[in-house]
Every structure is written in C-alpha cells, then in structure tokens.
Copies of this chain bind each other. A is one copy, B any other.
C-alpha cells in the first residue's frame, strides 16, 4: 500500500509532539514511516510545504464560536491557545509557517468576521484580528519555550500565564469596544 500525503503530515505531526520542532527533520519523518528520505518527495514538494501542512492540520482544530461578539472572540482566542498548547512548539511552527506563505488555513477570517459584526469597518476588523493572532502566538510561543526549557532545566519562578493571556485579550477587546459602534 503506497504512502499517502495525509500519512506523511500525520507522521510529521507526531514527531513534532514527541521531539519538538528542532527534532522534526525529513529524515526522521521518513524513518518513522520506514521509508527512504527521498520517498517523501513524491508526496510533498519540500520541508517548508510539509511544515505548513502540519500547521494547517493543527489549526483545523480551532473552534469558530458564534454569538455576542465579545464572548465569541474570547472563546476563539481561548480555543486557539488550547489547540496550540496541546502540540509542542506549535506556536513557533505556526508563526514560521505563516512566513512561508504556503498555508491554506486563514487563521484570522473568523475573528475578523465577528469584529466586523461588532461594528468595526472591514479594514479595522482585519487589523484587530491580526493583532489578536499576533498576541496569542507570541504568548503561547513564550509558554512553550518555557515548557521546552523546563524539560532539562530547573523550573524558574512561577508565573500565571492564564492571567497574562486574559489581560492581553482583554486590552485588545477593550480597544475594540471603544471603537465599535454596535456594542451588542
């Protein structure tokens, strides 16, 4: 039975979760699938595209809640964070993959829609959704870098990551509320 594209992406995702981003090499994906490295290139054009596919697969698990704009956006942000924290190093992976411009997944589409419904002009809604995404990625990358660090080093001083997360989202949404016409 020949290898499929989905199997390659899945194997890569499994290695990411087990060994982290720095352990995710084409050769290790190949060896996990018991295949020669060159065989991967029948299913994926290069490593960048494979990483983008892994990022898309992870992001596919993010909820797209509806309802009153503020709780819905807060739930979206919380779901994004939850999905990222469930996959080691995925915040950095997603940030990196965004740079390649090879993603199919449009991460900001849903929050931008919610913010436009709140009364923000389309341009501002997209901008605010991007700002939210940057904050969540930056915050989760920091959390995951700390987790990676503490795999091999003694834990540093405890910090409440949840509080910091809610603060950042809250500040941005307060800013939105101040500018949005429709406060329902």
Contact = CB atoms under 8 A, between A and B. Distances in A.
Contacts of A15: none
Interface residues of A, number: 37
A65 to B, nearest CB: 21
Interface string A130-166: 1101110111011001001100000000000001100
Given A131-B135, A135-B131, A99 B141 contact: yes
A52 interface: no
A54 to B, nearest CB: 18
A128 to B, nearest CB: 6
Contacts of A81: none
B179 A174 contact: yes
A56 interface: no
A22 to B, nearest CB: 10
A101 B152 CA distance: 13
A80 interface: no
A124 B92 contact: no
A98 interface: yes
Interface in A69-93: 92
Contacts of A173: 175
A138 B101 contact: no
B148 A99 contact: yes
Interface of A: 92, 95-96, 98-101, 123-124, 127-128, 130-131, 133-135, 137-139, 141-142, 145, 148-149, 163-164, 167-168, 170-176, 178-179
